[in-house]
Amino acid sequence: MTGGPLADLTVVEMTGHRAGPFCGALLADMGADVVKIERPGAGDPARSQGVGPDGKSGYFMANNRNKRSVTLDLKSDAGTEAALSLLEEADVFIENFGYGVTDKLGVGYEDVTELNPEIVYASIKGYGETGPRKKQAGLDLILQAEGGIMSVTGPEGGEPVKVGQAIGDLTTGMFTAIGLLARLYERGHLGDGDDESFNGKFDVGLFDSIVTLMNEYLTSYSMDGSVPGPQGTSHQTLVPYQRFETADGALVTGVPSDDRWDDFVELVGREELAEYPTNDDRFEHADTVVGIIEEEFETESTEYWLDRLIEYGFPCGPINDVEDVVNYDQTRARNLVVEHDDPDWGECLLPGHPINFPDHDDIVRSPAPRLGEHTESVFAEVAGDQTTLDEWRDEGAFGGE
């Protein structure tokens, strides 16, 4: 097996927490050589957040496997010089500093493109690089609230709650990866001599990602002025499409089209449901329709109803917790959780990669790095000669010993 479809791509990542590191991890999983620049002595704040070995939490491990770590003090001239030397040879740069910080550190877009005009330069910010809030700090929780997704999340009729995972961070990481690939595609299709016209910079905001996830809520509001509250486990347009209690637990299922309604009525065994043949009918009488289905589902076990629903070809599933997901047959079949032997922790599990490349099945090729683990080897290559490397070291480029 080869190293992945991005095996020839070199990426420099100067990010912390989750959005930027997750983007880098997606690229590294697909074979890119990702060098992570971290602050000497501290590194990515995620290193110390959550369970795991000292300086390498599970949170950090999940989002930084397959990378190399170097430390640079960008407040020193030598550190900036070393960083620019590394970026001069890179295809991609990902950063998530506050607005304007990279310019102050000497690694802004103009600084980097003076040496490497073809680099793709991705900036991740809370609010992006334009608009009245561009200088404001932004974290996932705040932006879930501000971007609207919290307003439609939570028990129906209850108070808004946050999504149970950092969906703004993770979605921003994915959108950034898409943007990077789009810029690389654009760069690859420029004609000879067109490199001066290439602008590889773009930015993504967590706020942008959350608002984008609001999707049809925004369009529906423009049509009828509707401002929905928390949706619970029901759907904003389809009935039924939600969680149902069973005799021993619960499941989720739905009817995606009217032409399957008669089959669903037969499956449930309640002929009165036939009075609501269209989704419009069912939406108008949702309490009645859902009540009849719930009443019937509560007479048998989850396993019974899942077997029936699968037999009839309806989408359905159990409500799994983390342990269930880890041990789920579909999870294992798709390598969505992979076994890993970390040198600092031992045996553990890491999330797999969501895109299945049948000819590139080696997802985790190396563990999340220790802080600065690859500083010497990476900059020995970059410096070009021992004298330059020694000068950088002596002038504090890599931080204190």
Distance CA 18, CA 91 (A): 22
Neighbours of 86 (CB within 10 A): 22
**Contact between 72 and 397 (Cβ < 8 Å):** yes
How far is it, in rounded angstroms, from Cα 54 to Cα 386?
32
From the list 91, 140, 169, 208, the catalytic residue is: 169
Angstrom distance (rounded) from CA 322 to CA 302: 18
Contacts of 135 (CB under 8 A, 6+ apart): 98, 99, 100
Sheet holding 250-254, edge to edge: 241-245, 250-254, 316-318
* Partners of residue 67 on adjacent β-strands: 34
Annotated catalytic, 169?
Answer: yes
**CA triple 312-247-311, angle to 5 deg:** 10
The answer to whether 111 and 88 have CB atoms below 8 angstroms apart is: no
> What are the b/e assignments for 254-290, b being 16+ CB within 10 Å?
bbeeeeebeebbebbeeeebeebeebeebeeeeeebb
- Distance in angstroms between the alpha carbons of the first and the last residue of the chain: 39
Q: Which amino acid, residue 33?
A: D
Active-site residue set: 169
